[in-house]
Chains A and B, each alone.
Chain A
């Protein structure tokens, strides 16, 4: 952004420098309001609260400080959307994930600028976007394959036909890697929704901008409302609602804090949530994408039927 500061050109994204609004009667830049993403819409937090992000160009942005109630609304939306999303064909889900990748690719410039504004180098920003796009395509490709690879026909010792296949666990609440600007969020959303789950994700508190812009990508990708919901806010405030909600089936918590891990795993026991706690990792590494991340949020269903007349 610093580079554009001297020009009068409005920036590609909304984090326009207020310095552009010179007194010389030039056009006033239109700033973007960063809102949260619930049920396919972009409301402000119901709490009316905000927190402020300072960008590397010394500008600042007000971001929604989401509340427990925002989370509850998101869970309702995610639950409502889940069965239909899971009921779509795997091929259809695959195409929608691919479409998300397409939409992200076409917005490279905007994302690059936003990542740079949030402190990434230009080269790192470009790499992060490229990997995010490729990661979406990677999981898009798995939608109609993971069940083939990880299901089984079971040779039982009686005259029954017996098979096991994978079904989505349901509604997943995720706290994304707080140290990642975009890739950590994308890398957790994609495998969760690939099998037919719906998700409520909390973006990185310090890097929320690209998460909200990613919501705009999702919103233009034929992804049904409620399948992905993205909140911005504080981990310390939302960790408990995320892990105690009785209509959430699984939680993913990325944290390096042992106390957060204990809290998450303790709360998960309330309704036997599947819980995965993971430390902050380098999401650019290929080893951090694999189909087992899809399996983490699936249930094995075994069906029996007699063989006979």
Chain B
């Protein structure tokens, strides 16, 4: 090839690269919050009624994007939790276990329908309080939450088909503790199968994201769900501990960090409480040379930057096969330059606000750790809003297995990249972690997909896709990523005892 030809070709390639910074300007497209009804103060939802906490303690909930106070939330003490458990026990013994499974299911169908009717309100509140982009609340969190109730509604009167050779019995009162990354969706993941299986519930949302769970309580009232079947107690760690340690709770379901999960597993030792844990992860997202590269790049972006990386199954460790590493990293950097970081209420926003000041500090600490460990950092130029908690999407290149940013869960938009040569090497590296929640594989070769998906020690494996969720699809981890599954037929088992 002559020099001249080479030059022309390079120029042609340069022309194809889109210059997003100057060529495209997005006008603000904010979602309106005018139709949202929020109280100034929320009480505890116990026995079908709104009850003030015994200690009369409240805490403020703020928007992580604007730092404005949205509402005041009751803080449940151990005495309040006890009231809630008593209400749940009473509802279990006298109401919920007495009505027919068909009727039980119909309540859940009704709840699903009301969530759909109020989808816009739920989405807006979720984004206001949690900081996630409105597009994600609107298109993923809220529809999936409704779908979850709808899916499990149908199971209520079909449990005898789920576990052959056994009779499926409800357990009693389920204590459920959920995180702040998918507040409404996690509430649905927990409550829907518990109720379908015939149990009653005491649920604690995360202290930074209580509002959609409390709005969900309003839905339960509207649906006519019998009093005490679901009780919602708001508060922080101490409230959660009171649920875990309550002697009349038969089952604990927790989603959150592996550290807290271990504390809970220890706390219930010897009690006969059933346990489901959905804990942390450090998923490998593996790109082979024969992958469809453009799709893979989209998958990497969705894998780590979805929900600001506040996802336990986030693809936070990227493994790229050497032959395509330069190409993939170049395309990934280009794609990152086009991500819009900012107001989560804006419909064009890709990366919203970090959920809390504490979480932002944790992420920033890890960015320092990564740099100090000698990894090469890359962040696209982007202007972060002055108010609120924001973090630019971040890559770390030249990382190795021993780096803390490769080993530890950051729970933010931070990707650690390594390269590999062979299948054996990448399997060894991918599985070399105490976690085992999820993994991603990108290749156009079918037999390679099945080789990888079989050998990766992870509960969910996405091949040529990433971060997909569905009520019919069981979710949960191997090893220190948790115990038990949520979703699908397998998600019923943790809420039943078989005899």
Contacts between chains A and B (CB distance < 8 A), count: 113
Task: Report the separation of the CA atoms of residues A164 and B474 in the bound assembly, to the nearest whole angstrom.
Answer: 7
Chain B residues numbered 451-491 whose CB sits less than 8 Å from any CB in chain A: 453-454, 458-465, 468, 470, 472-476, 478-483, 485, 488-490
Q: Does B277 contact A (CB under 8 A)?
A: yes
Q: Does A24 contact B (CB under 8 A)?
A: no
Task: List 3 A-B pairs, minimum CB-CB distance, nearest first.
Answer: A265-B269, A262-B270, A269-B265
Chain A residues numbered 234-253 whose CB sits less than 8 Å from any CB in chain B: 249
Check B465–A154 contact: CB distance below 8 A: no
Q: Does A290 contact B (CB under 8 A)?
A: yes
Q: Does A61 contact B (CB under 8 A)?
A: no
Check B265–A302 contact: CB distance below 8 A: no
Task: Report the separation of the CA atoms of residues A302 and B465 in the bound assembly, to the nearest whole angstrom.
Answer: 13
When distances are taken between beta carbons in the complex, the residues of chain B under 8 Å from A160 are: 465, 468
Task: Report the separation of the CA atoms of residues A107 and B286 in the bound assembly, to the nearest whole angstrom.
Answer: 51
Choose the segment among A4-12, A118-126, A270-278 that binds chain B (4+ C-beta atoms closer than 8 Å).
A270-278
Nearest CB of A to B469, in Å: 9
Check B270–A249 contact: CB distance below 8 A: no
Check A303–B453 contact: CB distance below 8 A: yes
When distances are taken between beta carbons in the complex, the residues of chain A under 8 Å from B241 are: none
Cβ-neighbour of B470 out of A156, A249, A300 (below 8 A): A156
Q: Does B23 contact A (CB under 8 A)?
A: no
Check B482–A272 contact: CB distance below 8 A: yes
Most chain-B Cβ atoms within 10 A of its Cβ — which of A152, A158, A303, A306? A303
Most chain-B Cβ atoms within 10 A of its Cβ — which of A261, A262, A268, A301? A301
Question: Which partner residue on chain A sits nearest B455 by CB separation?
Answer: A83
Task: Report the separation of the CA atoms of residues A306 and B481 in the bound assembly, to the nearest whole angstrom.
Answer: 25
17 contacts between A and B (CB under 8 A): A149-B164, A152-B474, A152-B489, A156-B472, A249-B479, A258-B270, A265-B266, A268-B265, A272-B479, A272-B480, A272-B483, A290-B166, A300-B459, A300-B490, A301-B461, A303-B462, A305-B464
Check A158–B463 contact: CB distance below 8 A: no
When distances are taken between beta carbons in the complex, the residues of chain B under 8 Å from A303 are: 453, 460-463
Task: Report the separation of the CA atoms of residues A271 and B280 in the bound assembly, to the nearest whole angstrom.
Answer: 12
When distances are taken between beta carbons in the complex, the residues of chain A under 8 Å from B449 are: 305
Known: A160-B468, A269-B266, A304-B473. 11 other contacts (CB 8 A): A156-B468, A156-B473, A162-B472, A265-B265, A271-B480, A272-B279, A300-B459, A300-B485, A302-B460, A303-B463, A305-B449
Check B268–A305 contact: CB distance below 8 A: no
Cβ-neighbour of A157 out of B147, B166, B266, B489 (below 8 A): B147
A contact patch SS: mixed
Contact bitstring A155-180, B, C-beta under 8 A = 1, else 0: 11110101010010100000000000
Chain B residues numbered 237-280 whose CB sits less than 8 Å from any CB in chain A: 258, 261-263, 265-266, 268-270, 277, 279
Most chain-B Cβ atoms within 10 A of its Cβ — which of A149, A263, A300? A300
Check B269–A304 contact: CB distance below 8 A: no
When distances are taken between beta carbons in the complex, the residues of chain A under 8 Å from B454 are: 167
Q: Does B498 contact A (CB under 8 A)?
A: yes
Q: Does B385 contact A (CB under 8 A)?
A: no
Task: Report the separation of the CA atoms of residues A281 and B459 in the bound assembly, to the nearest whole angstrom.
Answer: 32
Q: Does A299 contact B (CB under 8 A)?
A: yes
Task: Report the separation of the CA atoms of residues A249 and B479 in the bound assembly, to the nearest whole angstrom.
Answer: 7
Check A152–B488 contact: CB distance below 8 A: yes
Check A304–B262 contact: CB distance below 8 A: no
Q: Does A292 contact B (CB under 8 A)?
A: yes
Cβ-neighbour of A164 out of B270, B481, B488 (below 8 A): B488
When distances are taken between beta carbons in the complex, the residues of chain A under 8 Å from B462 are: 303-304
Q: Does A266 contact B (CB under 8 A)?
A: yes
Task: Report the separation of the CA atoms of residues A52 and B449 in the bound assembly, to the nearest whole angstrom.
Answer: 55
When distances are taken between beta carbons in the complex, the residues of chain B under 8 Å from A292 are: 163, 166, 498
Task: Report the separation of the CA atoms of residues A292 and B162 in the bound assembly, to the nearest whole angstrom.
Answer: 13
Check A269–B269 contact: CB distance below 8 A: yes
Question: Which partner residue on chain A sits nearest B264 by CB separation?
Answer: A269
Q: A262-B269, A268-B265, A272-B261 are in contact. Are A154 and B474 (CB under 8 A)?
A: yes
Check A155–B483 contact: CB distance below 8 A: no
Band of interface residues on B: 35 or more
Cβ-neighbour of B468 out of A155, A167, A169, A304 (below 8 A): A304
Task: Report the separation of the CA atoms of residues A157 and B469 in the bound assembly, to the nearest whole angstrom.
Answer: 9
Cβ-neighbour of B475 out of A149, A157, A169, A302 (below 8 A): A302
Chain A residues proximal to chain B, CB less than 8 Å: 149, 152, 154-158, 160, 162, 164, 167, 169, 249, 258, 261-266, 268-272, 274, 290-292, 299-306
Task: Report the separation of the CA atoms of residues A266 and B265 in the bound assembly, to the nearest whole angstrom.
Answer: 7
Check A272–B265 contact: CB distance below 8 A: yes
Check B262–A270 contact: CB distance below 8 A: yes
Q: Does B226 contact A (CB under 8 A)?
A: no
Nearest CB of B to A176, in Å: 21
Task: Report the separation of the CA atoms of residues A39 and B258 in the bound assembly, to the nearest whole angstrom.
Answer: 33
Cβ-neighbour of A162 out of B277, B470, B481 (below 8 A): B470
Nearest CB of B to A187, in Å: 17
Check A154–B270 contact: CB distance below 8 A: no
When distances are taken between beta carbons in the complex, the residues of chain A under 8 Å from B277 are: 272
Nearest CB of A to B2, in Å: 38
Question: Which partner residue on chain A sits nearest B263 by CB separation?
Answer: A269
Q: Does B323 contact A (CB under 8 A)?
A: no
Q: Does B374 contact A (CB under 8 A)?
A: no
Check A154–B461 contact: CB distance below 8 A: no
Check A304–B472 contact: CB distance below 8 A: no
When distances are taken between beta carbons in the complex, the residues of chain A under 8 Å from B458 are: 301
Q: Does B224 contact A (CB under 8 A)?
A: no
Task: Report the separation of the CA atoms of residues A84 and B428 in the bound assembly, to the nearest whole angstrom.
Answer: 15
Check B459–A266 contact: CB distance below 8 A: no
Question: Which partner residue on chain B sits nearest A264 by CB separation?
Answer: B269
Q: Does B30 contact A (CB under 8 A)?
A: no
Task: Report the separation of the CA atoms of residues A120 and B453 in the bound assembly, to the nearest whole angstrom.
Answer: 49
Nearest CB of B to A254, in Å: 15
Q: A269-B266, A270-B262 are in contact. Are A300 and B474 (CB under 8 A)?
A: yes
Q: Does B434 contact A (CB under 8 A)?
A: yes
Task: Report the separation of the CA atoms of residues A303 and B473 in the bound assembly, to the nearest whole angstrom.
Answer: 9
When distances are taken between beta carbons in the complex, the residues of chain B under 8 Å from A270 are: 262
When distances are taken between beta carbons in the complex, the residues of chain A under 8 Å from B163 are: 292
When distances are taken between beta carbons in the complex, the residues of chain A under 8 Å from B461 are: 301-304
Nearest CB of A to B139, in Å: 12
Q: A157-B470, A266-B266 are in contact. Are A300 and B476 (CB under 8 A)?
A: yes
Task: Report the separation of the CA atoms of residues A224 and B453 in the bound assembly, to the nearest whole angstrom.
Answer: 25
Check B164–A265 contact: CB distance below 8 A: no
Check A272–B262 contact: CB distance below 8 A: yes
When distances are taken between beta carbons in the complex, the residues of chain B under 8 Å from A299 are: 459, 478
Most chain-A Cβ atoms within 10 A of its Cβ — which of B453, B459, B473? B473
Question: Which partner residue on chain B sits nearest A270 by CB separation?
Answer: B262
When distances are taken between beta carbons in the complex, the residues of chain A under 8 Å from B468 are: 156, 158, 160, 304
When distances are taken between beta carbons in the complex, the residues of chain B under 8 Å from A169 are: 478
When distances are taken between beta carbons in the complex, the residues of chain B under 8 Å from A158 are: 468, 470
Q: A261-B270, A262-B269 are in contact. Are A290 and B165 (CB under 8 A)?
A: yes
Task: Report the separation of the CA atoms of residues A155 and B488 in the bound assembly, to the nearest whole angstrom.
Answer: 9
Cβ-neighbour of A305 out of B269, B270, B463 (below 8 A): B463
Q: A272-B482, A299-B459 are in contact. Are A265 and B268 (CB under 8 A)?
A: yes
When distances are taken between beta carbons in the complex, the residues of chain A under 8 Å from B478 are: 169, 299
